[in-house]
């Protein structure tokens, strides 16, 4: 058969999913939508969106921003704080995002740019550039007057029917380690609640649970201001829905055998689903995803996961022939992060048992595993390493 020329891949392994490909998460969407409804009515709200790396926090936040803009007339600002460590830089990023926002068409975009014209530099090929010098000079002031800044921004859009602001602070790994950040957030929320005319502000922080703990450690009262929404791995239905819809958007069909392989090995993790899906998209030749395509996809994606997310030393150790049978066993069954030593040992030969002991010690040294609270319990420190073992277990069959 002739090779089919491929168009654009509908998979997005490295970035939040575009809203048109967003799948599932119905309960979380409802919950956040209800909260947004409260903000539209004038009541400020704060949510901490939590879940593991790659589980879909940024995607859900992006989807809710779109939702709030469409259904509640709430202006969304999705601020990615990767690499940001100071409050001044939080302020500067915020200004940048406001300048670049294009949510509601020209009138609003222009009003926002007029408001911040001071920080807009010369026109360049992309339309304009940010005047970082003057932004940097003012960012300490903006960070000190963050709430008034947001208020002024919303005031400017009063005539346009905009009812509130949704502030999404995402990728907070760096900034949440700064003790000032917890105080900044608490003050923002309190100051707003106590003001005679609170700003309809929806605050949405995205981060793994450890980041929330960091913040609480820096400032205990942070614990009380957030409703917590936790994202879990996708269900089988959500996964099937994902693969069916995404493949059919490019006129590809998934055969039942292939579907069960795709779901089994991606184990509900959107990041892995996209990585496998993308590989399969490129290797398939006839627009029908067969079991063979799926198996090849899993194997190639396994290697990619290994190279991208598994530490070099661990990667090498895990590829040692000695550990094949152990890894094959660990790769089966559910994908809990913890396991009982005795459960894996069952059915291993004496030689394998010795290798298994050696494996456990080595993995502990490499910080892949730690001991659990129960006797004989081991816990994976990284979900992706755990998934890598599952993905490579296919190879060993």
Ligand X SMILES: Nc1ncnc2c1ncn2[C@@H]1O[C@H](COP(=O)(O)OP(=O)(O)O)[C@@H](O)[C@H]1O
Residue 331 contact partner, candidates Mg ion, ligand X, none, CB within 5 to 8 A by sort of partner? none
Binding to ligand X by residue 23, rule CB under 6 A? yes
Q: How far is the CB of 52 from ligand X (least distance, A)?
A: 7
Nearest to 284 by CA among 10, 12, 15: 10
Nearest-approach distance from CB 17 to ligand X, in angstroms: 3
User: CB–CB of 245/10 below 8 Å?
Assistant: no
**Contact residues: Mg ion, CB under 5 A:** 57-58
Whole-angstrom distance, CA of residue 356 vs CA of residue 345:
8
Q: Does residue 186 interact with ligand X by CB under 6 A?
A: no
Report residue 229: phi and psi, to 5°. Answer: -120, 120
112 contacts ligand X (rule: CB under 6 A): no
Q: Enter the tokens of residue 367.
A: 């910080």
273-302 binders of ligand X (CB under 6 A): 274
Q: Which residue has the tokens 């048109």?
A: 20
Under 8 Å CB-to-CB from 308, ≥6 apart: which residues? Answer: none
Q: Minimal distance in Å, beta carbon 13 to ligand X?
A: 5
The correct pick among 78, 271, 329, 386 for binding ligand X (CB under 6 A) is: 271
Q: Which residue is nearest to ligand X (CB)?
A: 56
Give the CA distances from residue 265 to residues 16, 216, 243, 269, 397, in Å, rounded to whole numbers and listed in that order.
21, 36, 13, 9, 14
Say whether residue 12 binds ligand X (CB under 6 A): yes
Q: Which stretch binds ligand X (CB under 6 A): 22-30, 110-118, 361-369, 380-388?
A: 22-30
**Buried b / exposed e along 337-349 (16+ C-beta atoms within 10 A):** eebebeebeeeee
**In the complex, minimum distance from the CB of residue 209 to ligand X, in angstroms, rounded to a whole number:** 12
Minimum CB distance to Mg ion, residue 80 (Å): 8
Binding footprint of ligand X on the chain (CB under 6 A): 12-13, 15-17, 21-25, 51, 53-59, 242, 270-271, 274
């Amino acid at each position: 058969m002739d090779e089919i020329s491929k168009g654009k891949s509908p998979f997005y392994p490295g970035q939040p999913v575009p809203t048109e490909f967003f799948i599932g998460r119905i309960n979380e969407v409802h919950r956040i939508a209800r909260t947004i409804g409260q903000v539209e009515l004038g009541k400020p709200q704060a949510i901490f969106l939590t879940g593991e790396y790659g589980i879909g926090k940024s995607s859900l936040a992006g989807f809710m921003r779109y939702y709030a803009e469409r259904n509640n007339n709430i202006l969304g600002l999705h601020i990615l704080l990767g690499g940001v460590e100071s409050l001044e830089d939080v302020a500067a990023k915020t200004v940048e995002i406001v300048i670049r926002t294009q949510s509601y068409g020209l009138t609003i975009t222009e009003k926002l740019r007029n408001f911040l014209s001071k920080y807009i530099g010369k026109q360049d090929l992309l339309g304009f550039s940010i005047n970082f010098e003057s932004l940097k000079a003012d960012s300490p002031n903006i960070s000190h007057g963050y709430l008034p800044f947001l208020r002024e921004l919303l005031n400017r859009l009063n005539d346009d029917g905009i009812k509130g602001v949704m502030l999404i602070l995402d990728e907070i790994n760096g900034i949440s380690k700064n003790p000032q950040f917890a105080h900044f957030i608490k003050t923002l929320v309190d100051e707003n609640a106590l003001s005679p005319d609170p700003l309809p502000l929806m605050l949405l922080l995205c981060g793994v649970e450890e980041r929330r703990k960091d913040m609480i450690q820096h400032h205990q009262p942070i614990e009380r201001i957030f409703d917590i929404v936790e994202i879990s791995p996708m269900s089988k239905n959500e996964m099937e829905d994902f693969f069916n819809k995404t493949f059919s958007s490019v006129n590809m069909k998934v055969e039942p055998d292939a579907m069960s392989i795709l779901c089994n090995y991606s184990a509900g993790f959107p990041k892995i689903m996209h990585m496998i899906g993308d590989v399969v998209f490129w290797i398939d030749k006839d627009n029908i995803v067969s079991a063979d395509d799926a198996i090849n996809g899993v194997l190639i994606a396994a290697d990619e996961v290994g190279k991208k997310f598994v530490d070099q030393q661990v990667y090498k150790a895990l590829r040692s022939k000695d550990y094949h049978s152990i890894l094959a066993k660990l790769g089966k069954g559910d994908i809990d992060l913890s396991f009982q030593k005795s459960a894996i040992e069952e059915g291993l030969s004496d030689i394998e048992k010795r290798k298994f002991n050696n494996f456990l010690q080595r993995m502990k040294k490499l910080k892949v595993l730690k001991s659990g609270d129960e006797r004989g319990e081991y816990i994976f420190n990284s979900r992706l390493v755990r998934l890598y073992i599952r993905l490579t277990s296919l190879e060993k069959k």
